[in-house]
A and B are shown apart, each in its own frame.
Chain A
Amino acid sequence: MTTEFGFSRRELFKRAGVAGAAIFAMPDLSRVLSLRRELFAQTRTLTPPEKATLTAMCARIIPTDDNGPGAIEAHAPEYIDHALSGALASSRQAYAEGFAALDVAAQQKFTAPFVKLTPAQQDAILTDVQDTPFFNLVRGHTLQGTFCDPIYGGNTNFVGWDLVGYPGVRLNVTAAEQNMSTPATRNHKSAYDYLMFSKTETMNGH
Chain B
Amino acid sequence: MATNLKPTGVVIIGMGAAGGVAALPLAQAGIEVVGLEAGTWLQAKDFAPDEIRNNFRAWPQAIQKAQNEIPTHRTSASAPYSPRLAIHPMMNAVGGTSLHYWAQSWRLNPWDFKVVSDTTKRYGSAKIPKGSTVEDWPFGIDELEHYYDIVEQEIGVSGKAGNINGAIDNRGNVFEAARKREYPMPPLRWSEWHDRMASAARGLGWHPFPGPAAVNTRSYGNRSGCAYHGYCNRGGCHVNAKGSTAVTTIPKAQKTGKLSLVTEAHVTSINVNNNGRVTGVTYVKGREEFVQPAAAVLLATYTYENVRTLLLSQSKAFPNGLSNNHGQVGRHYMTHATGGGVTALFPMNLNNWYGLPAQGVAIDDWADDNFDHSSVDFIGGGNLFVYSDRRPISAAGMSTFGRAPAWGSAWKTFIKENADRWHTSYMQKTTLPYEDNYLDLDPTVTDPLGLPVCRITADFHDNERRAAAFCQDKMEQWYRAAGAIDTVRGPLGTMGPSTHAYGGTRMGKNADTNVVNAWGFSHEAPNLAVLGASVMGTSGAHNPTLTAQALAWRTAEYLAKNWKKITE
**A-side interface residues toward B, CB under 8 Å?**
60-63, 65-67, 70, 87, 123, 126, 130, 139-140, 143-144, 146-149, 151-152, 155, 160-161, 163-167, 169-175, 177-181, 183-184, 191-192, 194, 196-198, 201-206
Q: How far is the CB of B84 from chain A (nearest CB, A)?
A: 12
Quick one: given A61-B407, A163-B416, are A202 and B48 in contact (CB under 8 Å)?
yes
Q: B355 and A173: CB pair below 8 A? A: yes
Given contacts A62-B412, A178-B388, 8 further A-B contacts (CB under 8 A): A67-B413, A67-B416, A165-B353, A165-B420, A171-B238, A179-B192, A192-B50, A202-B53
**B-side interface residues toward A, CB under 8 Å?**
44-53, 56-57, 60-61, 189, 191-193, 196, 227-231, 238, 348-351, 353-355, 388, 390, 392-393, 395-397, 406-409, 412-413, 415-416, 419-420
Q: B61 and A201: CB pair below 8 A? A: yes
A180–B56 alpha-carbon span in the complex (Å): 28
Q: Which residues of B have CB within 8 Å of A65?
A: 409, 412
A118–B51 alpha-carbon span in the complex (Å): 35
Q: Which residues of A have CB within 8 Å of B61?
A: 198, 201-202, 204
Q: A161 contacts which of B196, B231, B392, B408 (Cβ < 8 Å)?
A: B392
8 cross-chain CB contacts under 8 A? A60-B407, A67-B409, A143-B393, A155-B392, A163-B415, A178-B388, A180-B349, A202-B50
Q: A180 contacts which of B192, B396, B407, B419 (Cβ < 8 Å)?
A: B192
Q: Which residues of A have CB within 8 Å of B230?
A: 170, 173
Q: Which residues of A have CB within 8 Å of B53?
A: 202
Q: Which residues of A have CB within 8 Å of B409?
A: 63, 65-67
Q: Which residues of B have CB within 8 Å of A123?
A: 408
Quick one: given A61-B408, A87-B57, A180-B191, are A144 and B393 in contact (CB under 8 Å)?
yes
Q: B392 and A147: CB pair below 8 A? A: yes
Q: Across the A-B interface, give the 10 residue pairs with the lowest CB-CB distance, nearest first.
A: A201-B61, A197-B48, A164-B419, A173-B354, A178-B191, A198-B45, A147-B392, A205-B60, A191-B48, A173-B228
Q: Which residues of A have CB within 8 Å of B348?
A: 180
Q: A70 and B412: CB pair below 8 A? A: yes
A148–B211 alpha-carbon span in the complex (Å): 30
A148–B409 alpha-carbon span in the complex (Å): 20
Q: B407 and A149: CB pair below 8 A? A: no
Identify the closest chain A residue to B64 (Cβ): A205
Quick one: given A67-B409, A202-B50, are A180 and B351 in contact (CB under 8 Å)?
yes
Q: Which residues of A have CB within 8 Å of B196?
A: 180
A65–B408 alpha-carbon span in the complex (Å): 10
Q: How far is the CB of B242 from chain A (nearest CB, A)?
A: 15
Q: A175 and B189: CB pair below 8 A? A: yes
Q: A178 and B228: CB pair below 8 A? A: yes
Quick one: given A67-B412, A123-B408, A196-B238, are A173 and B227 in contact (CB under 8 Å)?
yes
Q: A126 contacts which of B231, B396, B407 (Cβ < 8 Å)?
A: B407
Q: A197 and B396: CB pair below 8 A? A: no
A197–B229 alpha-carbon span in the complex (Å): 14
Q: B229 and A170: CB pair below 8 A? A: yes
Q: How far is the CB of A110 from chain B (nearest CB, A)?
A: 18
Q: B60 and A206: CB pair below 8 A? A: yes
Number of A-B contacts (CB under 8 A): 158
A172–B226 alpha-carbon span in the complex (Å): 8
A170–B227 alpha-carbon span in the complex (Å): 9
Q: Which residues of B have CB within 8 Å of A87?
A: 57, 60
Q: B191 and A175: CB pair below 8 A? A: yes
Identify the closest chain B residue to A172 (Cβ): B227
Q: Which residues of A have CB within 8 Å of B415?
A: 163-164
Q: A177 and B192: CB pair below 8 A? A: no
A194–B413 alpha-carbon span in the complex (Å): 32
Q: A148 and B393: CB pair below 8 A? A: yes
Q: How far is the CB of A99 from chain B (nearest CB, A)?
A: 17
Q: How far is the CB of A198 from chain B (nearest CB, A)?
A: 4
Q: B396 and A146: CB pair below 8 A? A: yes
Q: B49 and A191: CB pair below 8 A? A: yes
Identify the closest chain B residue to A200 (Cβ): B61
Q: Which residues of B have CB within 8 Å of A173?
A: 227-230, 354-355
Q: How far is the CB of A85 from chain B (nearest CB, A)?
A: 15
Identify the closest chain B residue to A60 (Cβ): B408
Q: Which residues of B have CB within 8 Å of A160?
A: 392, 396
Q: Which of B51, B227, B390, B407 has the most CB of A within 10 A?
A: B407
Q: Which residues of B have CB within 8 Å of A179?
A: 191-192, 351
Q: A148 and B52: CB pair below 8 A? A: yes
Q: A130 contacts which of B228, B397, B407, B420 (Cβ < 8 Å)?
A: B407
Identify the closest chain A residue to B230 (Cβ): A173
Q: B392 and A166: CB pair below 8 A? A: yes
Identify the closest chain A residue to B62 (Cβ): A201
Q: Which residues of B have CB within 8 Å of A164?
A: 392, 395-396, 415-416, 419-420
Q: Which residues of B have CB within 8 Å of A180?
A: 191-193, 196, 348-351
